[in-house]
Structures are given as C-alpha cells and as structure tokens.
Chain A
Amino acid sequence: MKFHWFAEATYPHLPDDFPARGLSSWVSTPRDLADPVKVGETYRMFIRLMQQADRDGFDGLAVNEHHQTPFAMTPSPNLLAASLASTTENAAILIIGDSLALYNPPTRVAEEIAYLDCLSGGRVIAGFVFGTPMDSVFAYGNPPPELRERFHEARKLILRAWEAKEPFAFNGKYTQLRYVNAWPKPIQARPPIWVPGSGSLETWDLVIDENYCYGHLSFSGLHSAKPMVDAYWEYVAGRGGDMNPHRMAFTQLICCAATDAEAEAKYYEAVRYFYRMNTLDPAFTMAPGYTSIRSQKAMAEHVRNAPNLRPEDRARAAKGEMSFWEYDEKGYIIAGTPQRVRQRLRELAVDLRIGQLIGCLHMGNLSEETASENTHLFGTQVIPHLRDLWADQPDHWTPVVSQRRIAARAQAQREAAE
C-alpha cells in the first residue's frame, strides 16, 4: 500500500466569526480577509512539510488545484509541484490534479507535466480533474454542459502530445492547433494518470476504460464514502475492470500523537477550523448540467445508503459541532497514537479496497510543529507497518523511479537497524 502526503493549502488566519457572517469560502470570499505576506509564509510551511515527508518515507507528495478560495490557495498545482520537484528525492509528485478544461490551450498541461517529470527525474503522477463547480463553472466560467467535453478533448490532446513522434495538427471543437510538438518530452513515456471523482458514473466508465487510478477525494471519511466506494468496485467488477486496489485513492485526515489525549489537545481546534471555515454557499455548489441526471440519482442513493452517517451528522460536522472523538468515530478523522492510527487505517483500506492513501497530515490552522510531528510519526511508525497491505498486487499507478528509490531506502534502513 502507498501513502501520499497532502494538505489543502488553507489560509489559517480567517476571523473566528467567518461562518457566522454568512460568508462563502468559495468564489466570492472577500479578498481582504487574507494578508498576502501570511499567505507566503503558509506556502513556505507547506513546502517545508512536504520536503520532510519525502525524507520520512512517504510515497508521494500531493498537490491540487482550486480557485478563488481560502480553503485551498493553490490556483496552479504545477507551481507547488515545481517547488517540490527540485528539492525532493524519492517521493512521487502527485498532481491531483490539473483542471484540464481550464487550460487554454491544454498543451500547457502536457508541457508543464513534462517539465516537472524532467525536473523530478521521472517522478510525476498526472492527475486530470474536472474541477469542482466552484472552480470550473463559476470561477472559470465554463458552461456546465461543455465541461466534460472540453476535459476529454484536452485529455486526448495531452496524451497525443506526449506520445507523438513528430508534429501533428489537432482540429478539436474547442482547441485548434496546427503544430503540436510539445517540448520537452516527459521522462516517463506516459506518466501514470489519476482521475478523481465524486461518484459520477461517466467518470467511473472513463477510469475503467482507460485503467486510470480513480480517486475518491472527500473529507468525510469511511462512513460517508462506504456506499459509493462499494458501488464503485461493484461497477468495476460488473464491467470486468481491473480490481487492483492500487488503482483506488482515498483522502483521510490524520491526527497522530504520542497519546490519544495529546492528539485531542493538539488537533481539535485545527480539525474544527478545517470544517467550520469551509462554508459552501449553495449557489456555487451545484450548477445545472455539471452532474448528469443519471449520476445525480446514483449519488443521492449513496447518501441515503450511509447508515452510519445521518444528514444531521454531516451538518454538525460541517459546523464544527462534533467532539474530537465523534469526528474520529464518524470517520472524518483518524486520530490517536500511531498504533491506533495504523489499526484504523488497515480496517479502512481493507474495507474500501484502497491501495493509495492520500493522508491529510495538516489541516485548517494546525501549527507547523504539530504537522511536522504528525508527518514524522506517520512516516516512521504507521507506514512501515502497513506495507504488507496489497503487497501481492502490482502497482502500475505510481512512478517506477519512486517505487525503486523508496524500497531501496527502506531496505537500507532495515539493514542499518539490524
């Protein structure tokens, strides 16, 4: 099983009454609420933490794309990826991902990922995302019924740009280019491709057809995800797709400490900040045509089928009204000693058939010191104990270079210890 370090690059200094003021944390958030100098300090903190994660044995460093939000201030994941590609050695650079419909022309993605692959020595994972409604149709203005079509046209253009032996013409509906000849080529002939989704059947078909790694990137944990992830695997099996757990990624907030009591003391405020300050204005969370009617029905069914997570629980979690251990019990976080965390993660991974865990090792307004401790405990006392999971199955969805280097490093450490 593989473990990737991730954090939403959240602005950590929002006023406490931000939710009470009825402000949206997406699309229309007042820009004066953030001090750009402090934003810069936050970026530097994340870069340091991810460099540490590389040293502490993580398999990947995950970066993502969001727009017009203090929840995740990474408008271009490729920029953060570039900071990491040249200052880390082993871990994959997991771009999860570039919002293909928002790049014009999309050859920009082919070029930048190739740049990052060259810079990192072949360690890039190319995540392709549709983007949330807030990102892709509100902040970036794509008509919702065009989004998927634009995504697929861009995806085909990018793949061809990586593979082509000579310049080619591309006559698309949304992009026309007479001379596509992307420089440089990536080191990996075709970087591994991951596509996250939130339950759309069209996305399931895509990852099955192309054998991409699928990502269920929610922050609501096991109980929320269970009906949908089960339905996903059933769908894969029904279509005769590849059941390898390494092609399923899942996000999970992690709160490791020396004792359970210490975990509560160190993380509770940050966990509440993470959920409370993510105030989704209903006007921006859905757009007509963003999700097909067929998928909306299927997704509504999954929500109804979550017996261990009632709608009232979801509302209380979003408002920061759960106790620390209730967040843990409901699956929003996995907290406590490394022993407890690895036990719970093992159950989660087996239950949901997950081979790629994207651990959120920093959340909300957590201090760098605690996030660093979290990273170290997880890297040294959780990851090594879960390596046996799915070890019998090949992982075609992380870069070979990272797999080799991380395995060699672990081997060297074992030998040094003996």
Chain B
Amino acid sequence: MIAGRMQVAGFDVRVWNGGDGPTLVYLHGFEQHPGDAPFLNDLARARRVVAPEHPGFGSSSGFECLCDLQDLILYYRAFVENLGAAPVDVIGHGLGGMFAAELAILAPERVNRLVLVAPYGLWLDDTPLPDPFTMGPPALASAKWADPAHAGLETSAFDGAGGDSRAEFRAINLTAASKFMWPIPDRGLARRLPYLSTPTLVIHGEADALVPPAYEAAWAAVVPRARFARIADAGHLPMFEARDEFLALVDKFLD
C-alpha cells in the first residue's frame, strides 16, 4: 500500500492505495488507521484498495467542519464519488463499520457490497458496551485480543511525521473518535438500518470484548437479510489476529 493524500470537498486526508481491479474502500476503526497493513496488501492482490484516514485522525484535516455524523457521511459519499463512476465495495471496522453502514444507507447506488467487522453503532441495554475511553492499556489489550500476545501484529499509520509522539497520535485519534462514540457509540443507526438494501456481511470475533458477538443478534434484528460470520480465535481485530480466516470470509463474500 502506498501512502498519499487526497483532497475532497474541502477535506485533506491521508489515503493508502494499492492494487488494481474493482474498488474496495476500507474504513478503519476508532483507534487508528492501520497504515501499510498486511491484510490490506492481501486484499489488494485482486482489487484496487483505497483506505482513507478519517478526518481528524492522524494528519487528516477537516474535523472542524463536522458537526454531526451526517456531515461525515456526506463527505464519504463525495469521497467515493471521487473514486470513479462504478459503485464500490466497502469494509468498515468498528467505528468505520458505523460509517460504512451509514454510507450504504445514504448512497445505496454507490455501494456494491458491505462488510462490517465488529461494527459500532448499535446499543443493547442488556449488554452495554464497555467504555474504551476509560480503559488502561492492560484492560484494553485484554478486551481487544483473543490472546494479548498478538498485540504486536497490529500495524499503525503512525509515522512520527511532524515530531508528534505516539501518545499524541493516539490522543488526536481518540479525540476525533469521541465525536461519534462519546458517551455511547449510538448515533441513531438502528432507526436507519431498515433502509439498508446493500448486501451485507457482518463479522464478529468470538473473543471480542469491545464489541461482543452478542451484538450479532442486534444487527440481525434490524438487517434480517445480512449474512453473519464469527471468527473463533479472534478479538476486535480479526484482520490481524486471524488474517487468513478473515480474508477467506471477505473474498468469498465479495467475489
């Protein structure tokens, strides 16, 4: 994947590009863009993969233009339109899953197929999601990974540019994420999901304690036609922790 920048609708964001073929857009989760990640390179073997960093994350600008989720989704519609005339496939992870679902609802003609990995966006009173903003590193690692020893597999878009520290990079990212996740990562998606007509695959890691697989039922209740898959030995980041299984599921669904 090659890092670059893209200017769309007044936003100036970092984008990782790779591969040729039908376009697949990857929307990252709340902690960070994964940068030049192995799973993105794998996906790019048979596709053109475009992985933008969300406005406000890392060195991607435009956060100040966002008042609410609608502003962001309108931006992502313009972003996808900018990629060409043909509709695209979209994978959204965690918070990016919330964005991807909203995009498919707003612009169904632009989204061919949708893969949601441990998506945020719904809320069950009986199974409240943990608050990731209050977790110290050990608690977060144990919630994120089936085996915290796998933490080293995760890649990051952090490149030290501009003299920022990793801690600052993280603070910048979580600040932007909090706009859509604080105090509860529910911005009304459940009300809009009945309008979702895009073929959708929802993937959960069996060991994900951030977005537990119990949320599968919540998605099934509002998107009955979606397909569901669980990956046994993975937590919140199956694309790193169980890469082969993750890729097999995605390839099978998209091809």
Please determine whether A283 and B134 come into contact, CB atoms closer than 8 angstroms.
yes
Closest Cβ of chain B to A15, distance in Å, is 25
Closest Cβ of chain B to A196, distance in Å, is 23
Q: A282-B136, A283-B135, A284-B134 are in contact. Are A145 and B168 (CB under 8 A)?
A: no
Interface check A288, CB cutoff 8 A? yes
Closest to A137 in B: B182
Q: A282-B136, A283-B135 are in contact. Are A143 and B178 (CB under 8 A)?
A: yes
Closest Cβ of chain A to B173, distance in Å, is 8
Determine the chain A residues whose CB is within 8 A of the CB of B171 once the complex forms.
288-289, 293, 296
Determine the chain B residues whose CB is within 8 A of the CB of A145 once the complex forms.
63, 175-176, 178-179
Q: A173-B67, A293-B168, A293-B172 are in contact. Are A288 and B178 (CB under 8 A)?
A: yes
Please determine whether B174 and A146 come into contact, CB atoms closer than 8 angstroms.
no
Give the distance in Å from the alpha carbon of A143 to the alpha carbon of B136 in the complex. Answer: 19
Give the distance in Å from the alpha carbon of A288 to the alpha carbon of B175 in the complex. Answer: 5
Q: Mark B91-134, 1 if CB is under 8 A from A, else 0.
A: 00000000000000000000000000000000000000000011
Determine the chain B residues whose CB is within 8 A of the CB of A184 once the complex forms.
none
Give the distance in Å from the alpha carbon of A173 to the alpha carbon of B67 in the complex. Answer: 8
Closest to A286 in B: B171
User: Which B residues, 52 to 93, have Cβ-Cβ distances below 8 Å to chain A?
Assistant: 63, 67
Closest Cβ of chain B to A72, distance in Å, is 21
Interface check A167, CB cutoff 8 A? no
Closest Cβ of chain A to B215, distance in Å, is 21
User: Which A residues, 233 to 287, have Cβ-Cβ distances below 8 Å to chain B?
Assistant: 282-284, 287
Interface check B183, CB cutoff 8 A? yes
Q: Which of A141, A145, A282 has the most C-beta atoms of chain B within 10 angstroms of its own C-beta?
A: A145
Give the distance in Å from the alpha carbon of A146 to the alpha carbon of B181 in the complex. Answer: 12
Q: Mark B163-189, 1 if CB is under 8 A from A, else 0.
A: 000001011111111110011100000
Interface check A144, CB cutoff 8 A? yes
Give the distance in Å from the alpha carbon of A137 to the alpha carbon of B183 in the complex. Answer: 8
Give the number of chain A interface residues (Cβ < 8 Å). Answer: 17
Determine the chain B residues whose CB is within 8 A of the CB of A287 once the complex forms.
133, 178
Give the distance in Å from the alpha carbon of A263 to the alpha carbon of B136 in the complex. Answer: 41
Give the distance in Å from the alpha carbon of A86 to the alpha carbon of B134 in the complex. Answer: 42
Closest to B67 in A: A173
Determine the chain A residues whose CB is within 8 A of the CB of B136 once the complex forms.
282-283
Determine the chain A residues whose CB is within 8 A of the CB of B67 once the complex forms.
173
Give the distance in Å from the alpha carbon of A296 to the alpha carbon of B174 in the complex. Answer: 15
Closest Cβ of chain A to B67, distance in Å, is 6
Decide if the interface of chain B is mainly helix, strand, loop or mixed: helix
Closest Cβ of chain A to B179, distance in Å, is 5
Determine the chain B residues whose CB is within 8 A of the CB of A288 once the complex forms.
133, 170-171, 173-175, 177-178
Give the distance in Å from the alpha carbon of A288 to the alpha carbon of B56 in the complex. Answer: 13
Give the distance in Å from the alpha carbon of A111 to the alpha carbon of B67 in the complex. Answer: 28
Determine the chain B residues whose CB is within 8 A of the CB of A143 once the complex forms.
178-179, 182-183
Give the distance in Å from the alpha carbon of A137 to the alpha carbon of B178 in the complex. Answer: 10
User: Which A residues, 139 to 171, have Cβ-Cβ distances below 8 Å to chain B?
Assistant: 141-146
Closest Cβ of chain A to B90, distance in Å, is 25
Closest to B171 in A: A288
Interchain CB contact (< 8 A) of A289 among B134, B175, B183, B184: B175
Closest Cβ of chain B to A144, distance in Å, is 5
Closest Cβ of chain B to A146, distance in Å, is 7
Please determine whether B135 and A144 come into contact, CB atoms closer than 8 angstroms.
no
Closest Cβ of chain B to A305, distance in Å, is 20
Q: A173-B67, A283-B134, A288-B133 are in contact. Are A144 and B172 (CB under 8 A)?
A: no
Q: Mark A170-191, 1 if CB is under 8 A from B, else 0.
A: 0001000000000000000000
Q: Mark A116-158, 1 if CB is under 8 A from B, else 0.
A: 0000000000000000000001100111111000000000000
Determine the chain A residues whose CB is within 8 A of the CB of B135 once the complex forms.
283
Interchain CB contact (< 8 A) of B174 among A138, A141, A289: A289
Determine the chain B residues whose CB is within 8 A of the CB of A289 once the complex forms.
171, 174-176, 178
Determine the chain B residues whose CB is within 8 A of the CB of A141 once the complex forms.
182-184
Determine the chain A residues whose CB is within 8 A of the CB of B182 once the complex forms.
137, 141-144
Closest Cβ of chain A to B229, distance in Å, is 32
Give the distance in Å from the alpha carbon of A137 to the alpha carbon of B131 in the complex. Answer: 13
Give the distance in Å from the alpha carbon of A142 to the alpha carbon of B183 in the complex. Answer: 7
Q: A282-B136, A287-B133 are in contact. Are A144 and B178 (CB under 8 A)?
A: yes
Give the distance in Å from the alpha carbon of A270 to the alpha carbon of B107 in the complex. Answer: 63
Determine the chain A residues whose CB is within 8 A of the CB of B179 once the complex forms.
143, 145-146
Closest to A140 in B: B183
Determine the chain B residues whose CB is within 8 A of the CB of A173 once the complex forms.
67
Determine the chain A residues whose CB is within 8 A of the CB of B168 once the complex forms.
293
Closest to A297 in B: B168
Give the distance in Å from the alpha carbon of A293 to the alpha carbon of B176 in the complex. Answer: 13
Give the distance in Å from the alpha carbon of A284 to the alpha carbon of B131 in the complex. Answer: 11
Closest Cβ of chain A to B57, distance in Å, is 12
Closest Cβ of chain B to A175, distance in Å, is 13
Determine the chain B residues whose CB is within 8 A of the CB of A293 once the complex forms.
168, 171-172
Determine the chain A residues whose CB is within 8 A of the CB of B177 once the complex forms.
288
Determine the chain A residues whose CB is within 8 A of the CB of B172 once the complex forms.
293
Closest Cβ of chain A to B22, distance in Å, is 36
Give the distance in Å from the alpha carbon of A293 to the alpha carbon of B58 in the complex. Answer: 13
7 closest residue pairs by CB, A with B: A289-B175, A288-B174, A141-B183, A283-B134, A143-B182, A288-B175, A143-B178
* 30 pairs, A vs B, C-beta closer than 8 Å: A137-B183, A138-B183, A141-B183, A141-B184, A143-B179, A143-B182, A143-B183, A144-B178, A145-B63, A145-B176, A145-B178, A145-B179, A173-B67, A283-B134, A283-B135, A283-B136, A284-B134, A287-B178, A288-B133, A288-B170, A288-B173, A288-B174, A288-B177, A288-B178, A289-B171, A289-B175, A289-B176, A289-B178, A293-B172, A296-B171
- A interface vs B, CB < 8 Å? 137-138, 141-146, 173, 282-284, 287-289, 293, 296
20 A-B pairs besides A289-B171, A293-B168 with CB distance below 8 A are A137-B182, A137-B183, A138-B134, A142-B182, A143-B178, A143-B182, A144-B175, A145-B179, A146-B179, A173-B67, A283-B134, A284-B134, A287-B133, A288-B133, A288-B171, A289-B175, A289-B176, A293-B171, A293-B172, A296-B171
